[in-house]
Structure 1
């Protein structure tokens, strides 16, 4: 899978957005972990940068599938994600690929536009 950061805009949160995640699969093994806390640093319709204190098993070469939950404008989002990169910075930063259908993508874009207009007009959309 190829991660293409430049396909869509990327919204940078002034204050990281609180989120939760669960690991659903590591490699070919299905798992069901408890919720981990995270912060969304930035997001686009195809991906996000996620920060957490937890060290996910990405470095051993196994694909890690997540379910990421957060609220944007009081609307709940539950997005499927795949870890594509990992960096140890203030805990761990992860690049997450999110695979949305066109309806889900449009819903996320609209929610981000509303959020941006209500929170910080200096961010580009």
Structure 2
């Protein structure tokens, strides 16, 4: 196996965990979806309904292996999919959280 340092770390889930998304625009209700893949700086999520037009910043909450991870993020792109929408999210920079995400993915792989 050849290691490519230019390739970013991204983990796709066989069985996606549930994710809670809360709009920072003041909307009270949280939206629930599936975390399709994760990297230390971004995520791809599936939700049933399209986000409101003003929903470009979110707070997300999810658990990969053991602990719950919270992050503020920015919607970068969206794509309509069968039965819902897929969104690309850019997580705010936080070195501790980035290491924590990597550690949680490693713990998940060790469980298998």
Common topology (TM > 0.5): yes
SS at match of 1:110: helix
Give the paired residue count. Answer: 106
**2:38 matched to which residue of 1?**
43
* Structure 2 gap ranges (5+): 1-5
* Residue pair 1:8, 1:46 contacting (<8 A) in 2 also: no
Asked if the contact 2:12/2:36 (under 8 Å) is kept, the reply is yes
Query: How far is 1:54 from its partner?
Result: 1.7
Q: CA deviation at 1:74?
A: 2.6
Q: What CA distance in whole angstroms lies between the structure 2 residues aligned with 1:18 and 1:85?
A: 20
- Corresponding position: 1:97 with 2:90: yes
Q: TM-score, normalised by structure 1?
A: 0.77
What SS does the corresponding residue of 1:105 show, helix, strand or coil?
Answer: helix
Q: Distance in 2 between matches of 1:78 and 1:87?
A: 24
* Distance in 2 separating the partners of 1:63 and 1:22: 9
Cα distance, 1:100 vs structure 2:
2.9
- Does the 8 Å CA contact 2:56/2:75 hold for their aligned counterparts? yes
Pick which of 14-23 and 110-119 moved more: 110-119
The match for 1:111 is 104
Q: Which residue of 2 aligns with 1:123?
A: none
Q: Which residue of 2 aligns with 1:65?
A: 57
Q: Displaced runs of 4+ in structure 1, greater than 6 A?
A: none
Task: Give SS of 1:107's match.
Answer: helix
The equivalences for 1:8-47 within 5 A come to 8-25=8-25, 31-47=26-42
Q: Distance in 2 between matches of 1:85 and 1:57?
A: 14
